[in-house]
Amino acid sequence: KQEVTQIPAALSVPEGENLVLNCSFTDSAIYNLQWFRQDPGKGLTSLLLIQSSQREQTSGRLNASLDKSSGRSTLYIAASQPGDSATYLCAVPPNTGNQFYFGTGTSLTVIP
């Protein structure tokens, strides 16, 4: 069974800092990995999808990398803003069955 871990569980940074969120998974036989953002009480917003054949994917100030062999992905947020405050989740879809495996998330607070 795939296990997904996210470190750190919580992070508080001053506005403007660059930061890195980490995601690790135990089964490297994946098709892709997806990063989500969740605001309190809301649904998940897809941020980036990295296919297993890719090493990086970028969207604005966000950059996600994927290293399948080591079972790791990182989400890099440049020049953080208070509006980035949210919980960030990484998810790995299954190779069989249809259940996404989610990490427990990193709760990010960006202090103005």
Partner 1 sequence: KAGVTQTPRYLIKTRGQQVTLSCSPISGHRSVSWYQQTPGQGLQFLFEYFSETQRNKGNFPGRFSGRQFSNSRSEMNVSTLELGDSALYLCASTLTGTGWNTEAFFGQGTRLTVV
* Contacts to partner 1 by CB under 8 A: 31-32, 34, 36, 41-46, 49, 51, 89, 91, 93-94, 97-100, 102, 104-105
**What minimum distance in Å lies between the beta carbon of 61 and partner 1?**
21
**What minimum distance in Å lies between the beta carbon of 82 and partner 1?**
22
**Strand arrangement, sheet containing 62-67:** 4-7, 19-25, 72-77, 62-67, 56-59
Q: Extract the tokens encoding 42.
A: 């809301």
Which bin fits 104, alpha (ψ -120 to 50), beta or left (φ > 0)?
alpha
**What minimum distance in Å lies between the beta carbon of 95 and partner 1?**
8
Select 37 or 80, whichever has its Cβ closest to partner 1: 37
Select 34 or 65, whichever has its Cβ closest to partner 1: 34
